[in-house]
Amino acid sequence: MSDGASYEHLFRLDGRTALVVGAGSGIGAAAAVGLAAFGASVVCADADEAAAAATADRIGDRATARRLDLLDAASIAAAAADLGAPDILVTTPAVNVRKRIVDYTDDDLDRVVDLNMKGTFRLCRTFGRTMAAAGRGSMIGFSSIRAQTTEPGQGAYAATKAATVMLFKTLAAELGPHGVRANTIAPGVVETPLTAPIKADAAWYGAYADKSILGRWAQPSEMVGAVVYLASDASSFVTGTTIFVDGGWTAADGRFVPPT
């Protein structure tokens, strides 16, 4: 960008293509709708193609849907062959098995690592090639507050979310010379299908709400601003970093308010 840039268009995405993986629900669906609202043409991708199609239908003419399963290397390769190099890549899928480390089975570990880490790695490896060859693009991954702060039962999930941060930092280092930026977003507690079991437990839900400075959970729509920022020219000099959208969860202890 030049100093003479037209700032009113800083966040516009007209003429750009976005691939949103995990667009069938939650944060991925909100990201797809949000990117389209700022002018992007969006490919809504999900392991559940019907759910991806429902999101695409919400968007309208600027959206298409396809199956893309991070556990299926062939579906990733097929998407890259069909789509080439998107201007924007957003990936959100993750799974959690809440058990203490000493109770984890190898199957539990494989389930979390295969999707959260290996699937994300495969996706970024494949589209990193196409985007680098095109000489442009913004790659946006979803980490979590659990990359920085943890609790019992979060061992494997937290490890994969910390790994996601380092994966995208390395993508930034390797692909930056080719014109590709890579960043992560770290949400706090967000009301999504992944967190539905917590919402069903009133005490657990309330404890998480009380932990953040803002005293509540986030909605998926509240992640859209960070996605659009990282996708747009507003962040043209931002790469290799993590934006925390966590209501202040990682900024303050939150357990006790001492007398002052």
- When pLDDT is cut at 50, 70 and 90, the band that residue 255 belongs to is confident
Q: Give the rounded percent of residues in the chain with a pLDDT score beyond 90.
A: 91
Does residue 180 contact residue 138 with C-beta atoms inside 8 Å?
yes
* pLDDT higher than 60, residue 2: no
- Tally of CA atoms within 13 A in the half-sphere of 180 that contains its CB: 29
Please list the active-site residues. 157
Average pLDDT over residues 131-152: 97
| Whether 65 contacts 56, CB under 8 Å | yes
Q: Tell which residue, 189, 193, 196, has the closest CA to residue 216.
A: 189
Backbone φ/ψ region at 238: left (φ over 0), alpha (ψ -120 to 50), beta:
beta
71-88 per-position pLDDT tens digit:
999 999 999 999 999 999
User: pLDDT-derived band of residue 253, with 50, 70 and 90 as boundaries?
Assistant: confident
> How many CA atoms, within 13 angstroms, populate the side-chain half-sphere of residue 260?
3
Q: What is the DSSP track for 77-137?
A: HHHHHHH---SEEEE---------GGG--HHHHHHHHIIIIIIHHHHHHHHHHHHHHHT--
Q: What pLDDT is recorded for position 193?
A: 83
16, 200, 251, 256 from 185: Cα distances, Å:
21, 26, 16, 27
Confidence of residue 152 (pLDDT cuts 50, 70, 90): very high
Question: Given 3.30.420.40, 3.40.50.720, 3.40.430.10, 3.40.50.150, which CATH number is that of 13-190+220-245?
Answer: 3.40.50.720
Over residues 41-65, the pLDDT tens digits come to 999 999 999 999 999 999 999 999 9
Looking at residue 4, what is its pLDDT?
54
The model's pLDDT over 179-197, given as tens digits with 9 standing for 90+, comes to 999 999 999 999 988 788 8
DSSP string, 222-259: GGHHHHHHHHSGGGTT--S-EEEESTTTTTS--S----
DSSP state letters, 70-88: TT-HHHHHHHHHHH---SE
Q: Which residue shows structure tokens 């203490």?
A: 100
* Higher per-residue confidence, 195 vs 171: 171
| DSSP class of 48 | S
Instruction: Tell me what pLDDT residue 6 has.
Output: 80
CB 26 within 8 A of CB 190: yes
Instruction: Give 5's pLDDT tier (boundaries 50, 70, 90).
Output: low
The span from the CA of 157 to the CA of 113, in Å, is: 8
pLDDT number for residue 185: 98
Token reading at 194? 């992944």
Enter the DSSP assignment of 215.
Answer: -
**Taking 80 as the threshold, does the pLDDT of residue 256 lie above it?**
no
> What's the pLDDT band for 243 if we cut at 50, 70, 90?
very high
What phi and psi values does residue 5 have, to the nearest 5 degrees? -60, 150
